[in-house]
Structure 1
């Protein structure tokens, strides 16, 4: 099974490398850019939730903090 997947990937990679530049550009804009946007949104969401769990950082010597 892995050999079949590797052969398919090699064929797709070879086709893309030999494609004219406009085709490569369109494929990047249609496939890679949305994938990057989704990955950025996912990372932002995950790290935002992790940051909320740990709370905000406070400086011990903060003059605005009344204690």
Structure 2
């Protein structure tokens, strides 16, 4: 099974390496752009939840900023 995956990956890598550079760039942006946006959204949601969990008691004691 791993030989099949390794052969597929080698073929995909060779195909990508032989493409014209602007096409390589466009493909990388098309794949990594959404992945990075999704990761950033997920990290933002996690940080918001953790901040709300740790910061809720302190927010009740302080007056809102004007």
TM-score, normalising length: structure 1: 0.70
Q: How far apart are the structure 2 equivalents of 1:31 and 1:19?
A: 16
Matches within 5 A, 1:18-57: 18-55=18-55
Runs of 4 or more, structure 1, over 2 Å off, are none
Structure 1 unaligned blocks of 5 or more? 59-64
Q: Per the alignment, in what secondary structure is the counterpart of residue 40 of structure 2?
A: helix
Q: How far apart are the structure 2 equivalents of 1:54 and 1:2?
A: 45
Aligned pair count reads 58
Q: What value does the CA root-mean-square deviation take over the aligned residues?
A: 1.8
The answer to which structure has the higher helix fraction is 2
Q: Per the alignment, in what secondary structure is the counterpart of residue 49 of structure 2?
A: helix
TM-score, normalising length: structure 2: 0.71
